[in-house]
Chains A and B, each alone.
Chain A
Amino acid sequence: MLVKLSARGLRALSETSRAPFVARITETPALPEAARSKLLLLLSGEASDFPPGFRGYLLRQAARPLAPKDTYLLGADHTYLRDGDVVRIDPVRGTVSALYRANSRSNTFLVTERCDNFCVMCSQPPKDHDDGWLVDDIERAIPLISPDATEIGITGGEPALLGERLVRLLVLLREHLPRTGVHVLSNGRRFSDAGFARAVGDVRHPDLMIGIPLYSDLAEEHDYVVQAKGAFDETVRGILNLKRRRVRVELRFVIHRETVERMPEFARFVAKNLTFLDHVALMGLEHVGFARTNLEALWIDPVDYQRPLREAVLTLDRAGMATSIYNHQLCVLDPTLHRFARKSISDWKNVYVEVCQTCRRKEECGGFFTSSAVKRSRGISPYG
């Protein structure tokens, strides 16, 4: 199912709050009144009456008049909402943004759009503006999320630019969601400050992983890909500092024309220097953001890099490192690599194409990004 995580089309049916607000959705009208004040009641059938005391009301069907304050009719893009979801309602713009979806395994918080890297294939191009309100919302959302949530991602921009505020966010997650895994996507540079890395380690989050991209064994190659001089040294030092503080670190390598050439040497470098890392992910390109802008320069058909990919994966695997291939369809991968392939694409942007309909391995396969209609490997063909 494709989901538009932030969509307009919300129609107010009564007087509304003026400022945006964050609340959890419930579909249980009979909740004790004392428990209602922070919840949005989602009514699917024909709303005949409105149990009093909820923060607001979301209706799937138009209702009779006399709706209480903050009653809204959901739009066509909002059908995915359900009990347990945490949303941000902007009454003025008429948008509902899902901050957390209860029935998804891939919930991610975008904590800032600022970044000190400027990667040539960035899927989420940075914007240099004050967006502290993003974290304000997330800090409000966390206490509303069910402690049964399996994993939450933190992404940017560069989350570590939040500094001390990132540390506080991790503390908040540990306190409210101690059983929920937290995966932070960071370029690692800020952790070259040993004190900052220590502060993250000192949170003692029970299930934290920091995913950090490294694109070459050579400083100038990495610096070029991330368009930042000196980034390689800072990122590597950041990784070392985090591991010294026993924070789990995953390495992420995006495969494209500018990185593919040294992929085997990169793997050798990682196996030799960074063997203690917790996971290495070798990832196919997502065709959005700058990757789309630069697609002609970056695109290489996965079929054409199976040899170096295989060499890299085997080097890492032989070193005993947990290794995964992300964002690749099984039919474009060398068969010896299938056991490393993961279904890695988040549900809300995951699709299969026409030829996949007859494929007998579709269930095992990670499929495509919605964005990858732009360029597709010539190796795509269904397993009969």
Chain B
Amino acid sequence: MARAVFHPRSAYAPSAGYRLLPLRFGRLDEHAYIVTNDVGEYVRLARDELVAFLERRLDSDTSVYKALKSRHFLYENDSSVAFDLLALKYRSRAERVAAFTGLHIFVVTLRCDHSCQYCQVSRQSEDSTAFDMTVEHADKALDLVFRSPNEHIKIELQGGEPLLNFPLVCHIVERARKLNEDHRRDLQFVITSNLSRLSDDVLSFCKEHGVYLSTSLDGPADLHDGQRPTRGGGSHRKTVEGIHRVREVLGLDRISALMTTTPRSLSRVDEIIDEYVRLGFHGIFLRSLSPYGFAARSLVKRYGVEDWLDFYKRGLSHILRINAGGYFLREEFTTILLQKMFSPLGSGYVDLQSPAGVGIGALVYNYDGAVYASDEGRMLAEMGDQTFRLGHLDEHSYEELLTSEALLAPLGETILEGMPMCADCPFLPYCGADPVFHRATQGDAVGHKAFSAFCTKQMGVLRHVIGLLETDAEARDILLRWV
């Protein structure tokens, strides 16, 4: 064999100069800037690196140059495959919009046996059946559910306390499964319940039909019971008993819990998290209050978004410690953002989509037959603002509801790429639009982001999480496991 001749690295070096691919940039913290692109890639860099990069004089031998090239922020004349890959990634992330409505919420009753301070849906007393959904409305709503082209359909049975109208819950689940014999979708059910009415009948029904349960758990007993009063008390005890029974009868993964942060929770984040660990949960969603329903009047004004951010950061560091100790526990809101950063498909979380998830991500069939574009839209309506009411099951067809101005207007306005301030924001690919929040707080679906608590919360959390990812190797290792 003739002696093989190999060429040095320099023979394959790109010709000098580079061009920018579409990107956004902004300040990350006092030390660094961040650039992001439409497919969710990011690079953290120093100010002088950013300036050199944008002025097209960044040295190609630097590691930041290589990172920017690898993540498709720049390209050279020698290679153009970045365009193919960017297009592919963008299409993957946008596919969800075409999939259309996946979440269908049935408000089977407004009745409830709890009187929570932060209730968002204006509870009614337990015996007022005037606030129950009728079978006729449920059937009409089910017909609409299967009009959605989405392969994955999730039906959420909500209230009030949906188990107070258990016969209708049974009817909806059974009829949906019957209809699905023809439609053949991936069909899932979840009952959102405080578990006070969890009977053997309910459990065996859930077992038979593969129904999941979701409940509220605000933390240790005194905190939980303080903000979730019920006649005779003992909400926490009943919830915990319920969780154990569900796991015994249906299996460990069949129940999840959600917490709501109130002013009284703020100083107790570690205890709240420990309560979830004590009960064997591997996920906790640190949720801030929404400015709707009773909460808007009684609670929201008593803490600001900065208080919640502080609560969140302390909570997250406690959760990271728990993970470092060998117990897997993920914070669900952080996980949603991490999915937007690292998963090719992003996240399907309805409240952080662009355009907003209203209608095309979720539809709400209210107890009275009204159809809303989101759960929060229904809450807003209970406060007298009908902006997100798409129509009524008795009066409007699927086509009329889904092409109503009440839906098309907010969809058109909430494409982040066209929203004032969002359009230039580096956190855009990890964010979403919340038209109901801005309507509730500022009077229109878009709002002014400088005065938006939603925006402050998003930026605060994202800066914190990206900061951890980039400067704390141990935290990064744990966080990436949550995706």
Contacts and interface: CB of A to CB of B under 8 A. Distances in A.
A220 B314 CA distance: 45
A219 B14 contact: yes
B130 interface: no
A253 interface: no
A228 to B, nearest CB: 9
Contact of A219 (B67, B71, B79, B343): B79
A120 B84 contact: no
Contacts of B71: 272
Contact of B12 (A220, A272, A314): A220
B85 A236 contact: yes
A318 B81 contact: no
A120 B67 CA distance: 25
Interface in B8-30: 9, 11-14
B6 A294 contact: yes
Contact of A265 (B4, B67, B78, B89): B67
A228 B81 CA distance: 16
Contacts of A236: 81, 84-85
Given A273-B85, A318-B483, A229 B70 contact: no
Contacts of A120: 6
B66 interface: yes
A286 interface: no
Given A240-B88, A290-B4, A272 B80 contact: no
Interface in A3-58: none
B67 A237 contact: no
A229 B10 CA distance: 11
B344 A272 contact: yes
Nearest to B1: A125
Interface string A200-243: 00000000000000000111110110010110110011001000
A318 B14 contact: no
A299 interface: no
B481 interface: yes
B236 to A, nearest CB: 36
B41 interface: yes
Interface string B198-240: 0000000000000000000000000000000000000000000
B9, B70, B71 pick with most chain A CB within 10 angstroms: B70
Given A233-B81, A273-B89, A318-B481, A218 B69 contact: yes
A219, A223, A314 pick with most chain B CB within 10 angstroms: A219
B4 A293 contact: yes
Contacts of A346: none
B7 interface: yes
B480 interface: yes
Contacts of A272: 41, 71, 89, 342, 344
Contacts of B80: 233
Contacts of B1: 125
B81 A232 contact: yes
Interface string A240-282: 1000000000000000000000100100110111010000000
Nearest to A222: B12
A265 B70 contact: yes
Contact residues on B (Cβ < 8 Å of other chain), bracket: 20 to 34
Interface in A65-112: none
Contacts of B69: 218
Contact of B84 (A220, A224, A240): A240
A224 B81 contact: no
Contacts of B76: 219
A51 B93 CA distance: 69
Given A224-B9, A318-B480, A218 B66 contact: yes
A268 B344 CA distance: 12
Given A219-B81, A224-B12, A232-B81, A275 B344 contact: yes
Contact of A237 (B4, B12, B81): B81
Nearest to A236: B81
Contacts of B12: 220-221, 223-224, 229
Contact of A217 (B70, B84, B89): B70
A72 to B, nearest CB: 30
B73 to A, nearest CB: 13
Interface in A94-152: 118, 120, 125
Nearest to B78: A219
Contacts of B13: 220
A273 B79 contact: no
Interface in B437-470: none
Given A220-B13, A227-B7, A273 B67 contact: no
A226 B70 CA distance: 19
A318 B13 CA distance: 32
Contacts of A224: 7, 9, 11-12
Nearest to B69: A218
Given A273-B88, A318-B483, A220 B70 contact: no
Nearest to A268: B70
A272 B429 CA distance: 15
Contacts of B66: 218, 262, 265
Contacts of A221: 12
Nearest to B482: A318
Contacts of B6: 118, 120, 227, 290, 294
Nearest to B9: A224
A272 B7 CA distance: 31
Contact of A218 (B4, B41, B70, B480): B70
A25 to B, nearest CB: 32
A125 B78 contact: no
Nearest to B79: A219
A294 B4 CA distance: 10
A236 B80 CA distance: 11
B137 to A, nearest CB: 41
B14 A220 contact: yes
A99 to B, nearest CB: 24
A227 B7 CA distance: 7
Interface in B26-83: 41, 66-67, 69-71, 76, 78-81
Contacts of A227: 6-7
Interface in B103-156: none
Nearest to A318: B480
A260 B85 CA distance: 23
27 contacts: A118-B4, A120-B6, A125-B4, A217-B70, A218-B66, A218-B69, A219-B79, A220-B14, A220-B79, A221-B12, A224-B9, A229-B12, A229-B78, A230-B78, A236-B81, A236-B85, A265-B67, A272-B89, A272-B342, A272-B344, A290-B4, A293-B4, A314-B480, A318-B342, A318-B483, A319-B343, A319-B344
The 10 closest A-B pairs by CB, nearest first: A219-B79, A233-B81, A223-B12, A224-B12, A217-B70, A236-B81, A275-B344, A220-B12, A273-B85, A224-B9
Interface of A: 118, 120, 125, 217-221, 223-224, 227, 229-230, 232-233, 236-237, 240, 262, 265, 268-269, 271-273, 275, 290, 293-294, 314-315, 318-319
Interface of B: 1, 4, 6-7, 9, 11-14, 41, 66-67, 69-71, 76, 78-81, 84-85, 88-89, 342-344, 480-481, 483
